[in-house]
Structure 1
C-alpha cells in the first residue's frame, strides 16, 4: 500500500485550550463516533428490503435503488436538486473540530453527485444538562466555518435535547440533469481512482485509546476537514463514469455498492491504495474499530481476498472512513488527466488503485 505522509495542523489542540467552562470529553458521551456509527451494511439492507418502494416519480432521477450518496430531483431542463442528510456522534473531543468534520462529511455527498452545494440546515442533538452552551456553540461554529469555506450558508436547522451529542447537516445542491454523477455508471476497462488515503477509523480508535500523537491527530483533522469539492468539477469532465464517497462502509463496502450498481467486477490493487502513515503502523499494532469487523461480516461473498490475506490490511480496507475521499471510475484514456486535475486541487495523495472488468458484481483485491 502507498503510505501518505502526515499532515500538519494544531487547530484541534488550540481550540481545546480556549474553552472557559469545564466539560466531559465529547467522545466520553457517545457510544460510537463519526461514520463508524453507521448501521452495518447488512443490517441496513435488511431494514430497507422490507420498506415499501417510493413509487414512480418521473422527476426523481436518483433514489435509493443503488444506495447512492444523495437523492436527486429534476427541477427543470437545466437544474436538478441534490438532497442529502448526514450526522453522527463525535470522534474527537474538540467541539470546533467535531463540527468541521461533521459538516465536511455531509457536504461530501453533494459533491459526490457532481453537484455544487447551495445551502445547508443543521441537525443538532445535545445533552444540554451536561454540555455548556459555549461548547455546543463551538460545534455549530465549526460546521458554519466549513460551510463558509464551501461558499454556502447554514440557513436554519433543528435541535433536540438528546442523551448523546449528535451533529450534522441537511445539504442541498444543484447539478445539470444530464451531468449527475452516480455510483452505478462504471464501465469495463475503467480505471479506479481514490482521492484520499485510508485510515481515519484507525486514527479515531487510537485517539480514544490515548495512543494518537500530535502528528496523528493533525493528519486526522486535515483529511476529515478537506472538502471533496473536486466532485463538482468532475461532472463536466468527459470520461468520468461513476463516483461515490468512501465513508462508513469502508473502501470495500462502497466499492461493492459501485460494483452492484454497474453490474461489474472491481479489481483493487492492494499495493496502490494510499494510507495515512500513522494509521498503517497502528493497524499493524492491532488498533482497529468495531465497525471494520461489522463491515467485513456484511460483505458476504461479494468481496474476494487472496489466500492468507494480512489481517491488518483487511482492517484498513474495511476501516470506516469519516469524511473520506471519492472513489472514481474513469475511462482509461481520461484517467491521467483526471488524476492531474484532482492532484492540482490539493489531493496530492490521490492514486490509481484498480480497474473495472466484466463479470458478476464483486470486488476482488489483488
Structure 2
C-alpha cells in the first residue's frame, strides 16, 4: 500500500496558542506541510505579549473544566518547555490576600477549589503572610506554591525556532481574507490570504481577538462574539518595587468576572500593578484614544454586552473610574500594599482580553473549541490560555488525529 500523501496544515494566528498548535501538529505528523499565518509582522503582538507573564496554577477554575485541567497540566508542561528551551522562568508561588473580613468566605472558597484541583494551598495568618511579603496588608491569606512567572514572548520565539528547524512555513504579514471549504483539490479548504491563496487539508483558527471573525470567514456558525476588554497596568517605581517580593493577588469579587488589580514581579525584576477591566472601543484598543467605529458599533449593538453591563454596572463603573484616575488606581493598590503612593505608579503597556460572550450576556467561562477534524476553531482562550498553551495544542491535535468533533 502506498503511503498517504502529506497533509497541508494551516494555523491562523501567531500568538502562543497558534505557535504551540503548529508545533504539536508538526511533531505528530513530521511529513505534514505546516504553515502559520500571522497578520502582524512579528509574533505575540497581542494577548500573548501584553499580559502579566504569570504561569497560573489553576486555582480559580471549576474542577473538571478545561481551564482547570489544562492549566494544572500546563503549569508543569510550560515550566518544562522553558527549562528545555532556555527560556527564563521561576516557580515562585503567590499570595492571595483578604484585606477585609467580608472577603474571608471568598478566600475559603478559593482554598477549597484549589485543593479540589490538586494544588498545594496553605492558609496563612497575617503574621505568616508577612513572612512571604513583609509589606502587604491582610487579615488572612493563601499561599499557592505552583504559580510562576515566564516571558511568553520568549516562549513564542522558541516555538518559532522549533517550527523553522522542523521545516514549517512561518508567514508574518499574512492575513486570512476568506475561506472556502471543499473548493480546493481533493476537498481541501481554499484559503484566500493577503500573501496569496493556499489549499489546506486542516485549518486551525487561533486568531485570538479575531477568532470569531475568522470563524465566520471560514463559514463557521457560532453564537458567541468576542467582546474586547482592556486591562491597564502601571509599573511601580524602584522604591515601591522593593516592597514586593513576588506575586500578590486580591480575593476576586464573585459577582464580577475578572480577578482584580494584583502585583506581579516579572521575570525581568520589574513590578507592575493591574490589570483593571474596561471596555475597549476596538479589538486592538490599547488606549482610550484607539477607537474603531465599526468595531465599537459591533460591540455596542450586541445584545449580550448590554445584558452584561446591566448586571455589572456598579463594579464596571468602579473599573472605569480607576481607568481614568491614577489616584483611584493607586487607592486600589494601597488596599494590598499601603505604602504605595500615586507618584509610585507610571502607565505601562495595556492588554486586551479576547473574551467570548453569549447573546444572553453570559461570558464563556471555559475554553471553547468548536469544529471538526478538518477545521478547528479556538473561540475562547483568554487567561489562563498562555499557561495552558501546550495542553490546548495537545487537545487540538487529538481532535485532528481522531476525526472527532471539537467540544
Which one has a bigger Cα radius of gyration?
A: 2
* TM-score after normalising by structure 1: 0.28
Greater relative contact order, per chain length (Cα 8 Å cut-off, separation 6+): 1
Q: TM-score, normalised by structure 2?
A: 0.26
